[in-house]
Structure 1
Amino acid sequence: MNVMGEEFETDFWKEVDDRATWDMIVPGELRETRPVTLTKKIIQDFARKVGEDNPLYFDEEYALSTPYKGIVAPPSIHILLMFACTTSKDWMRSPGTINAGQNWYYHVPIRPGDTIEMRGSALDKFIKKDRLFAVHENLFTNQNGQIVCSGRGQTIRPI
């Protein structure tokens, strides 16, 4: 189990030459992933960095008074998890990747102490107007097997 922190690499150029390229993406093949445990500090650091100031993410007393019954993570934390749950060799981490659209569905809130696992794969890849596209799908579950977030997106891959 990986608790995010110092072992989560934030230098996305590190090991760039080891990344899977567009030619190596195999539709239907599961991406290599690892579980990540989120702490209150990680959730709150993320919220601050993306400009979230909702007391649901910071104030335990307030959060307990809501239907959520405690601190939760901002829904957009799935973006951080997409990188934290994958290895440095993952094709999604390639510098120069452009987000070409996405749809996300949120099911169960993520809470401090949750261990999140990601199941992800490319569904398709194609070339359009000399650009390399990958269509991907990701499913995030917590330690209880509950789906916390699911989504599908397209990226334009670097040449």
Structure 2
Amino acid sequence: MTQTTFETDFWKDAATRKIWDDIVPGEPRKTIPYTLTLEAIQKYCRVVDDMHPLYFDEAYALKSPYKGLIAPPAIHILLMFACTPTDDWMRSPGTVNAGQSWSYNIPARPGDVIRLEARALDKFIRKDRLFVVHDNVFFNQNNEVICSGRGWTIRPM
């Protein structure tokens, strides 16, 4: 089943989220397909104040090298939450982004069914902080990689 909306109250399910001890390096994370709508793209763009016509103006976008409306590269921020269930450890309140590196292959488009493959690569403790290194790859319905990234997060105690 494809999810089309997602919860925005990130504390709502905090008690059900996986904790440090539940994170198993190498184990695939449970993910949910998400149909990316034009409404979601444009809402995201408005929130981050990115009003480029490639995301809003169909006539402009059709004349561009992309031949149609696209999502901005940073849409992976929205997709990270849209493609994970409420008990996913990445959704834990108190998690701190300690760094990330992303590669962008092709743009996501309205109507794409996005699939995420993700896992923890490693976890370790440094200076009394819980770190997780993780990778994430987003695919469209044609199994094409939209973007991929590696990140480091500091987990809540």
> Partner residue of 2:124?
126
User: Which letter does structure 2 place at the counterpart of 1:40?
Assistant: L
Aligned positions, number: 157
Identity of paired residues, percent? 63
> Partner residue of 1:72?
70
Task: Name which of 130, 133, 136 aligns with 2:134.
Answer: 136
In 2, the alpha carbon distance for the partners of 1:22 and 1:76 equals 27
- Give secondary structure in 1 for the equivalent of 2:111: coil
Tell me the TM-score normalized by structure 1.
Answer: 0.97
Report deviation, 1:39.
1.0
Task: Tell whether the 8 Å contact from 1:3 to 1:38 is kept in structure 2 after alignment.
Answer: no
- Give secondary structure in 2 for the equivalent of 1:87: coil
Tell me the TM-score normalized by structure 2.
Answer: 0.98
- Give secondary structure in 2 for the equivalent of 1:125: strand
1:67-103, Cα deviation, whole Å (9 max, x unpaired): 0111000111101111110000000000000000000
> Partner residue of 2:31?
33
Task: Name which of 125, 145, 148 aligns with 1:147.
Answer: 145
> Partner residue of 1:60?
58
In 2, the alpha carbon distance for the partners of 1:146 and 1:123 equals 22
Report deviation, 1:4.
2.3
- Aligned-residue Cα RMSD (Å) equals 0.7
Task: Tell whether the 8 Å contact from 1:33 to 1:118 is kept in structure 2 after alignment.
Answer: yes
2:6 paired with 1:2: no
Report deviation, 1:15.
1.4
